[in-house]
Amino acid sequence: VKAFVVLAPAYKGSEALAEELAQHVKKRLSAHSYPREVEFVSELPKTPSGKIQRFLLRKAEVEKRKT
């Protein structure tokens, strides 16, 4: 499981913040559902109606792993 996180302008992405987010999710959900990776992004791809285009995130991830 990988989480793509858009931070508020006042925050900076860091390894400590990624770990804190993972631990928070681990407490709220089952142990196997927490994100093993956290990537901070400036924005998420969305449709004109505002839905997140998860397939584009998956496609970009596959492309990254090929290189």
- Whether the per-residue pLDDT at 17 is higher than 80: the answer is yes
User: Looking at the 3D structure of the chain, how many domains does it have?
Assistant: 1
- Report the CATH number that the domain containing residue 59 is assigned in CATH: 3.30.300.30
Longest dimension (CA), the chain: 35
User: Mean pLDDT over residues 30-41, rounded?
Assistant: 90
List Cα–Cα distances, 59 to 14, 19, 37, 51, 54, in angstroms: 24, 25, 16, 17, 9
- Whether the per-residue pLDDT at 31 is higher than 90: the answer is no
Q: Which domain holds residue 57?
A: 2-66
- pLDDT, residue 67, reads 76
